């Protein structure tokens, strides 16, 4: 139980394009989902909290216009990296909250050329 | 400033022995603390949650302790197996169910 999927698993894009990443909770409903990024050998950094039916809450230093989050249903949240640049290349991971526990997706590796 | 510290050096341990990992934190008052396992290129997998009013939690071969006075959690893997080789992450709740993660501690179980 408590399975979370992400799509795509890997994406390569050109600088200036936008990329959408989907996060789905497959066997439970999640009113709250979270988006993280992780650089090699670094800890997961929380980017934003995604709440179903309301605006996302961004952590300090995260550009909300750069990283658009939509939580349209209790099982789906999307992260769109707009006008991507090479410095946005990273491992993006989502989680879905079930009570106090967060269940993570497998991650999306983004490479911006 | 807020810090979560896990040992940056990998822990190499013989199969069958107990692996013990430490998570120390400063300037946090977490309502609960969680431990996750992460394999290379994958998302973290939830292992255990321990609340601030709990001293110890067990699940199969795993044991977690939580000392809010020392601001420390210990994570134990008993009877370690090569399949336990991974990076283990400590995560602290810091409000609205948000988690702050340590960098993780790699464990290598030698057959």
Q: What span, in angstroms and rounded, lies between the C-alpha atoms of A7 and A19?
A: 11
- Whether the CB of A46 is below 8 Å from some CB of chain B: the reply is yes
Parallel/antiparallel/unpaired status of strands A19-25 and A10-13: unpaired
A58-93: per-residue pLDDT in tens?
999 999 999 999 998 899 999 999 999 999 999 999
Other Cβ atoms closer than 10 A to A64: 13
DSSP letter, residue A4: E
* Contact status, residue A62 vs residue A36, Cβ threshold 8 Å: no
Residue of B nearest to A109 (CA): B41
For residue A99, the model assigns a pLDDT of: 87
Per-residue pLDDT of chain B (111 residues; tens, 9 = 90+): 889 999 989 999 999 999 999 999 999 999 999 999 999 999 999 999 999 999 999 999 999 999 999 999 999 999 999 999 999 999 999 998 999 999 999 999 999
| CB atoms A104 and B43 under 8 Å | yes
| CB atoms A100 and B97 under 8 Å | yes
| Burial (CB count within 10 angstroms: exposed 0-12, middle 13-18, buried 19+), residue B92 | buried
Q: What span, in angstroms and rounded, lies between the C-alpha atoms of B3 and B42?
A: 24
| CB atoms B97 and A104 under 8 Å | no
- Whether the CB of A8 is below 8 Å from some CB of chain B: the reply is no
For residue A16, the model assigns a pLDDT of: 96
- Whether the CB of A101 is below 8 Å from some CB of chain B: the reply is yes
For residue A53, the model assigns a pLDDT of: 83
Dihedrals phi, psi of B83, to nearest 5 degrees: -70, -15
A111 pLDDT more than 90: yes
A90: nearest Cα among B17, B41, B70: B41
| CB atoms A101 and B44 under 8 Å | no
Dihedrals phi, psi of B84, to nearest 5 degrees: -80, -10
Torsion sign (Cα): B82, A102, A100, A48:
positive
Residue of B nearest to A100 (CA): B97
Please state the rounded mean pLDDT for residues A3-31. Answer: 96
For residue A42, the model assigns a pLDDT of: 87
B100 CB neighbours in chain A (<8 A) are 46
A28: nearest Cα among A80, A101, A92, A79: A101
């Amino acid at each position: 139980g408590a399975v979370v999927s992400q799509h795509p698993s890997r994406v390569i894009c050109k600088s200036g394009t936008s990329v959408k990443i989907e996060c789905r909770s497959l066997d439970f409903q999640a009113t709250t989902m979270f988006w993280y990024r992780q650089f090699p050998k670094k800890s997961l950094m929380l980017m934003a909290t995604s709440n179903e039916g309301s605006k996302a809450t961004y952590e300090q230093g995260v550009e909300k216009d750069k990283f658009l989050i939509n939580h349209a249903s209790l099982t789906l949240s999307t992260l769109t990296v707009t006008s991507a640049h090479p410095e946005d290349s990273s491992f993006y991971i989502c989680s879905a909250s079930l009570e106090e526990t967060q269940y993570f997706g497998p991650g999306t590796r983004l490479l911006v050329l | 400033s807020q810090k979560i510290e896990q040992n940056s050096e990998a822990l190499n341990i013989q199969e069958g022995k107990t692996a013990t990992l430490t998570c120390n934190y400063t300037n946090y008052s977490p309502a609960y603390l969680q431990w996750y396992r992460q394999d290379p290129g994958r998302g973290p997998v939830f292992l255990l949650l321990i609340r601030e009013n709990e001293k110890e939690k067990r699940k199969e071969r795993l044991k977690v302790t939580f000392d809010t006075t020392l601001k420390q959690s210990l994570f134990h893997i008993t009877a370690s197996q090569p399949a336990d080789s991974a990076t283990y992450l400590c995560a602290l709740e810091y409000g609205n169910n948000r988690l702050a993660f340590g960098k993780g501690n790699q464990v290598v179980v030698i057959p």
